[in-house]
A and B are shown apart, each in its own frame.
Chain A
Amino acid sequence: MKFKPDEIVSVLRREISGLGAGQDVREVGRVLEVGDGIARIYGLAGVMAGEMVEFTSTKIRGLAFNLEESSVAVIILGDYLKIQEGDEVRSTGELLRVPVGDAMVGRVVDPLGNPLDGKGPILATETRPMESNAPGVAERQPVKTPLQTGIKAIDAMTPIGRGQRELIIGDRTVGKTAIAIDTIINQKTENVICVYVACGQMQAKVSQVVEQLRHYGAMDYTIVVVSASSDPAPMQYYAPYAGASMAEYFMYQGRDTLCVYDDLSKQAAAYRQLSLLVRRPPGREAYPGDVFYCHSRLLERSAKLAERYVIVPADADEKKVQDDWGVNDATNPTQRRGGGKGKVYVGPLDRHEADHDVKSFPGHKIAKIATSGGSLTALPIVETLEGEVSAYIPTNVISITDGQIYLQPALFFAGVRPAVDVGISVSRVGGNAQIPAMKDKRVAGGLKLTLAQFRELEAFAQLGTELDPATQRQLDRGYRMVEILKQPQFKPMRVIDQIMIIYAGNTGGLDDVPIKQVRAWEEQFLTYMRDQHPEVAELLAKERKITDDVGKKLDAAIQSFRRQLAGTSELQEKLKRLPVDSDEVAWGKHAPAAQAEFKNLIDAVTRIVPVDLTAWAMTHAEAYGPLRPGNTSLERRFTEPVKVAAFLYPRLKENPQRDRVDVHGEVDRVVIEVRSTASGDVSRRYVVVKDTATRNHYLYLSLQA
């Protein structure tokens, strides 16, 4: 690297000559007292509420929080220990702003937008005020597009729409954050920008969350705003507003966004601290009077913005359409506009008008303005103490939001995870956003009621009374539905898959499956549907509702899966018994050695490292012959190693005189060679490999003499 000093000097000269000799006029005050993140300032008579001020000597910024008769209380956004009594404070005439834009995505920042992830400075070109007004009535439209969380219990019973505010509430450690994180992970294919605001959280927990997001590839579209519990209270108080601003920017660009506030009870505590320090009168639970407003103005910023349309020539580029592109006159929409404003159609009602008006303009079309129709979905989290939902902050936020997901510790510890309490979890607007297939009576339509009835019956059944068959059936169905709604963390599910499994449960497909095997059944069923009947999912995705055709196809698929499962489990049972029982009779003294070999085979198969099947088969074609699926006489697929062994073993031991069986366990394959005892030649050779994509084991017969 070689410097070009000339250029540097010329740039410096230009910069310096550009600086005016103008006077620096500022309004100042002096620090009277400072402590606990608050400074009391005398002077600054003209400062405005919420205006930024600067401590001149240290360049630390603060924010005018309380304007009193003869002093100003300033909250300090930085290290207050460096500020001394008598320091000069100057007003800046600016509001608190945060950097926004694409440069922020994928970064971990503090509430002021400073990077915390060690990835260098953020080159954001734009900023937004931290506090901004929520969009008004006219700019919004009703929530109608689903925001899929990928969690069965939520998408089915408390669905969330884009632009909705859904509270996640529950005691500590019942999986509130897990739901939010799964939702973010599930937005990978949905083109939704996510913001995760950690407010008053432990640093360790935050870094864990960031690591999880990174691991599941969610940081590519996520901004993490961190104010840890050790950060000053002002930072914790402002973190949610900063996150909302960053998400809002994308909303006003026409993008869909999701913002998680984790959690608002700690933010309220930080706000209480600030308010008490500036001596605002305490109210209930010592929270200040405006703690409700503090949360309502934050959550009100979530919105589904109305789509705006203009009539443009048919060849216009739809991705760049802007407000002033309309060709017709705003006041007289059937006339071409002269010098005046073009007509902009706002929302679904105007859209009908546009359909009518466009007829007057042949060769024109209606186009959506590219930056319209964005949304900001909020998932605030509130922590309760001992399930106390009627405490101050929980009731406040419940009344502000469009519904809540209540997580029940009792359910959580009983193994029902996510521990959603179906009874008191609601979604007030999300129902409109659910896709019709999910809303269907045979899927999630009656699910809430069924589960509520089940909970009542369950309590009743615990008394040990004799139950009539109908009640027993209802109970059995309930147990299985509860089992179906369980879902491990980091495994968000496509909504189509959710519909298929809930449909199977609701139509009685699982009634004879033992409760403990329900989840295995579900997994196998979905694999089966993906591999053997992909057309059902495709049809469902296209129709978006359970038509007669879809219903029939689903029923048929479930039946055929049940038959196949019964078949394999029968076969499995038989094979499992073979080496131990019947072989013992057949092979006599060879039986112990045979059992050892069987175990050896299972071990070897278990240890195989998965490979990309097609590529593997190509490179090994020379050694083992053509292994591509369909090219060999024997080719089988197994989901578990033990099944490979169980299937293979009886075939290896066809004659009691015992062929010699060599099992070669390699890193990515197991080669089994069967040699005849008489000649010592290889009579048959099997190869077992594991596929990366499906995680299944494939068995090939590579050689038969």
Chain B
Amino acid sequence: MPEAFETDSRAGEEGSSERRVARVYAEALLDVAAGRGQADEIGREVQALVTDVLAADAEAERALASPVVRRAAKAKLLEHAFKDKVSDLLFNFLNVLNSKDRLGLLRHVAAAFRDLLDERAKRIRVTVRSVIPLTDEQTNHLRDAIAQATGLAPVIAARLDPGLLGGMVVQVGDQVFDSSVRTRIDNIRDQLLSRSSYEIQTGRDRFSTPA
């Protein structure tokens, strides 16, 4: 179920310094996990931690991220909450984050971990927006097409977007293939505006006759 990794958050993208730091932690975690052959398992655990635990209890997330709460207090909290409930590796990792005051990066680490897993597994994330849900046949067709074009295994996240009016928008990495009716209408509007204003300016009396 690779689709389970997809979240609405754009977290995990690099750029800001937080995200760069998170990627370092994620790489370290993945290396250890891969060494023990638990990469996918840890990936699911980290993702569940973010989507199920942190999302369910915003209070807990704030407490963990807060610099006001002391490290020792957080360590105790982690021990009570996670000891023996998650894998040892993840528990240790949380403690490492805590000892460096980096628990606030959990979401970013989760996203970076997911991206790294994708990279290792030669997967590519594809976002598809359409007005009506795609049928299985259509999804498979799309998957085949993208796999052929990129040489990577596409992970398709489909989303509904009534604003498109019709057609669909496929984003593969940074490339956007847009065949939506909305974009086409916008293009027509822009072209008409620029063309007609140019025509009007060049021949001001073309559309009218003197009274």
Task: Please list the residues of chain A having a beta carbon within 8 angstroms of any beta carbon in chain B.
Answer: 1-4, 7-8, 11-12, 15-16, 19, 21, 23-30, 32-33, 40, 42-46, 70-71, 86, 90, 120-121, 123
Given contacts A32-B16, A46-B174, A70-B14, contact A19 B210 (CB under 8 A): no
Contacts of B173 in A (CB 8 A): 45
How far, in angstroms, from A28 to B10 measured CA to CA in the complex? 14
Given contacts A15-B192, A30-B10, A86-B10, contact A23 B179 (CB under 8 A): yes
Given contacts A24-B183, A33-B16, contact A4 B178 (CB under 8 A): no
How far, in angstroms, from A243 to B187 measured CA to CA in the complex? 31
Cβ-based interface call for B83 (8 A): no
Of the listed stretches B32-40, B48-56, B101-109, B201-209, name the one at the interface; the rest are far from the partner chain: B201-209
Of chain B, the residue at the smallest CB distance from A47 is: B174
Cβ-based interface call for B195 (8 A): yes
Which of chain B's residues 1-38 have a Cβ closer than 8 Å to chain A? 10, 13-16, 20
Of the candidates A24, A25, A32, which one forms a contact with B15 in the assembled complex, judged by CB atoms under 8 Å apart? A32
Cβ-based interface call for B66 (8 A): no
Q: A21-B184, A23-B179, A28-B174 are in contact. List 16 more A-B contacts (CB 8 A).
A: A2-B208, A11-B199, A15-B192, A15-B195, A16-B188, A23-B178, A26-B178, A28-B171, A28-B175, A28-B176, A30-B10, A30-B13, A32-B16, A43-B13, A43-B174, A90-B176
Docked-complex contact B191 and A1, CB < 8 angstroms: no
Q: Which residue among A16, A23, A32 has the maximum number of chain B CB atoms within 10 Å of its CB?
A: A23
Cβ-based interface call for B82 (8 A): no
Docked-complex contact B207 and A4, CB < 8 angstroms: yes
Within the complex, the shortest CB–CB distance from A223 to chain B, in Å, comes to: 19
Between-chain CB contacts (< 8 Å), 8 pairs:
A16-B188, A19-B187, A24-B184, A24-B187, A27-B176, A30-B10, A42-B14, A90-B176
Contacts of A70 in B (CB 8 A): 14-15, 20
Contacts of A4 in B (CB 8 A): 207-209
Docked-complex contact B207 and A44, CB < 8 angstroms: no
Docked-complex contact A25 and B177, CB < 8 angstroms: yes
Docked-complex contact B175 and A25, CB < 8 angstroms: yes
Of chain A, the residue at the smallest CB distance from B180 is: A24
Docked-complex contact A1 and B211, CB < 8 angstroms: yes
Given contacts A8-B207, A123-B202, contact A42 B13 (CB under 8 A): yes
Of the candidates B14, B15, B16, B192, which one forms a contact with A12 in the assembled complex, judged by CB atoms under 8 Å apart? B192
How far, in angstroms, from A620 to B14 measured CA to CA in the complex? 89
Q: Which residue among B15, B187, B198 has the maximum number of chain A CB atoms within 10 Å of its CB?
A: B15
How far, in angstroms, from A21 to B177 measured CA to CA in the complex? 13
Docked-complex contact B178 and A24, CB < 8 angstroms: yes
How far, in angstroms, from A615 to B199 measured CA to CA in the complex? 48
Contacts of A120 in B (CB 8 A): 201
Within the complex, the shortest CB–CB distance from A59 to chain B, in Å, comes to: 9
Contacts of B207 in A (CB 8 A): 3-4, 7-8
Docked-complex contact A2 and B16, CB < 8 angstroms: no
